[in-house]
Amino acid sequence: MGNTAGSRTGGRVRSDAARADVLRASAEILEERGYGRMTIEGVAARSGVAKSTIYRWWRSRAELAMDAYAEAVARRMPEPDTGAVETDLVEFVTELYRVTEFPVRAQALRGMTAEAQLDPEFARHFREWVGTRRAVVAGILARGVDRGELAADIDLDRAADHLFGLFWYRLLVEHSAVRPDQAAGDIAQLLTGLRPRA
């Protein structure tokens, strides 16, 4: 009889569980030690998954690191859809700013940003991840346009850059604190320039 549907499903379940273990271990190491000290050997040891298996699933350390971080961030920050652009953006930005309540996570994010300036391969994966977060914001804004809450002619990419630019500048330069309780005010100011004009 050989392979049955049940045995194939069991194999997939085990494989999915191992993959999840690798992603979890990678995200933990990335946030605890930074990308520079994250190794495939360390991920294998923590996850209990063979190094050869990890290399079969991910072509490089950079690809694994950003896949793991993307999965962790998406889990912590699911896309809000409250029915109103302002409350969606406030919810999203509140969670975005909350990274500073976890100093290890904030430092890891600063470290990845620095690494992206030095390592072209890592930069490519880092930009792809940043693109997924920008896409969430662009989607929120697009729904706001469709509902008539925002001007029909706004540049979604530029608006997303305004939102993230404030966060990255404060996070990296540290001239001013990034606090979740600032989110509502920052979004109110941003939306002033995006609302339909009379």
pLDDT at 197: 78
pLDDT score at 193: 87
What is the rounded CA–CA span in Å between residue 65 and residue 35?
7
Predicted local distance difference test score (pLDDT) of residue 57? 95
Nearest Cα to Cα of residue 155 among 134, 167, 138, 133:
138
Instruction: Mark whether 104 and 137 lie in a shared domain.
Output: yes
CATH number of 56's domain: 1.10.10.60
Is the pLDDT confidence value at 10 over 60?
Answer: no
Q: Give the pLDDT confidence score for residue 12 in this predicted structure.
A: 61
pLDDT greater than 60 at residue 122: yes
- What is the mean predicted confidence (pLDDT) over 121-145? 96
Measured CA to CA, the distance from residue 162 to residue 140 in angstroms comes to: 14
Same domain, 115 and 175: yes
The residue-averaged pLDDT of 119-147 equals 96
Backbone dihedral region of 148: left (phi > 0), alpha (psi from -120 to 50 degrees) or beta?
Answer: left
Q: How far apart are CA 179 and CA 20, in angstroms?
A: 31
Indicate whether 120 belongs to any domain.
Answer: yes
Q: How many CB atoms lie within 10 A of CB 77?
A: 17
| Together in a domain, 50 and 86 | no
Q: Take residue 177 and report the two structure tokens written for it.
A: 């604190």
User: Which percentage of the chain shows pLDDT scores above 70?
Assistant: 92
In terms of Cα–Cα distance, which of 193, 185, 125 is closest to 161? 193
Tokens 């630019």 belong to which residue?
165
Per-residue model confidence (pLDDT) at position 191: 94
Listed in sequence order, the DSSP H helices in the chain are: 5-33, 40-47, 51-57, 61-76, 85-97, 103-118, 120-146, 156-173, 183-192
> What is the domain extent for residue 19?
5-60
2 pLDDT band, cuts 50/70/90, is very low
20 pLDDT more than 70:
yes
Q: How many domains does the chain have?
A: 2
Alpha-carbon gap, residue 89 to 87, rounded angstroms: 5
pLDDT at 5 over 70: no
Using one digit for the tens of pLDDT, what is the confidence trace for 63-84? 999 999 999 999 999 999 999 9
Q: Are residues 132 and 51 in the same domain?
A: no
My answer on whether 81 and 53 are in the same domain is no
Predicted confidence at residue 63, as pLDDT, reads 96
Do residue 181 and residue 121 come from a single domain?
yes
- Pair (112, 181) in one structural domain: yes
Domain shared by 154 and 180, yes or no: yes
Same domain, 117 and 157: yes
8: pLDDT strictly greater than 90: no
Average pLDDT rounded to a whole number, residues 160-184: 95
